[in-house]
Amino acid sequence: MVPEKRKLTVVGAGIAAVFVLGACAPAGYGSDTGTADYGNAAEPASNDVAATPGAEATGEPAAESTEEPAPADEANTPEISDELATTELTAKKVAQMGSTVQDEDGWVLYRFDDDEDDPAKSNCNDTCAKIWPAALTNDGEPKLTGVDSKLVGTVTRADGTKQLTLKGWPLYRYIGDKKPGQWKGQNVSGKWFVITPTGTKNLTCLPKVSKPVAPPADAADDEASDDSGSDYSY
């Protein structure tokens, strides 16, 4: 038989664990923390590599070219509409998670482990980009509040548009967030994380690894997506 005192200790510890984990997870998440190895919440070595903030990175090594310069109309970056442009980056704390970076409308921004930061490169395109819309820009000069301008730069995406970066990491929103301030994208696929104002992952709260929402049937209509999860890996 298990001594009564030991029973009480085990039960008490279990209740405490449920309380702590439940307080960490945002609405819609379970209380489990997942099984991924985060190295005791330490940042991977790539996060400590100095990026080249403020300058555009293409993801390709620098090299001299002997080819003729491209015509001006081909060299120009595609212009995006004001509605699609991210015009502000604001450092803001939210309940349970802590430090986040938000856009002009208060949407929490994320970084992707499959991307690269030195040089910056986005590897989220096509269907992935419908689930994780890139923080696009025309001039690469968003209004900054609580974010160091030396850490902000741009990267050219596969479609030629410019995406804002923070410490070299491309920035994204998540269509699974249904209102400003939400962070349901945290730990999706074990690869997506809320980004802090210094460009590191915010690992304050790690809900269990979850699947991303399904991409919208039409890129202009995200009502087709829900919070039930999908088989997509990004």
Considering the entire predicted model, what is its pTM? 0.69
Name the DSSP class of 99: E
Instruction: Taking residues 48-64, report their average pLDDT.
Output: 40
197 in a domain, yes or no? yes
- What the block records as the tokens of 28 is 């819609």
Torsion-angle region of 148 (φ positive above 0: left; ψ -120 to 50: alpha; else: beta): beta
Using 50, 70 and 90 to split pLDDT, how confident is the model at 1? Answer: low
145 in a domain, yes or no? yes
| Phi, psi torsion values for 53, nearest 5 degrees | -65, 155
17 in a domain, yes or no? no
137 in a domain, yes or no? yes
**Residue 132, amino acid:** W
Using 50, 70 and 90 to split pLDDT, how confident is the model at 184? Answer: very high
Cis geometry, peptide bond prior to residue 44 (ω within 30 degrees of 0) = no
- What the block records as the tokens of 215 is 């991409």
Using 50, 70 and 90 to split pLDDT, how confident is the model at 217? Answer: confident
165 in a domain, yes or no? yes
Residue 53 pLDDT exceeds 90: no
Using 50, 70 and 90 to split pLDDT, how confident is the model at 161? Answer: very high
151 in a domain, yes or no? yes
Residue 45 pLDDT exceeds 80: no
Query: Scanning the structure block, which residue is given the tokens 């596969």?
Result: 158
Domain extent at residue 213: 36-59+71-221
What is the rounded CA–CA span in Å between residue 140 and residue 231? Answer: 34
The number of folded domains in the chain is: 1
**What pLDDT shows up at residue 234?**
79
192 in a domain, yes or no? yes
66 in a domain, yes or no? no
List alpha helices for the chain, DSSP H.
4-24, 72-75, 127-131
Q: How far is CA 200 from CA 54, 95, 223, in A?
A: 17, 18, 31
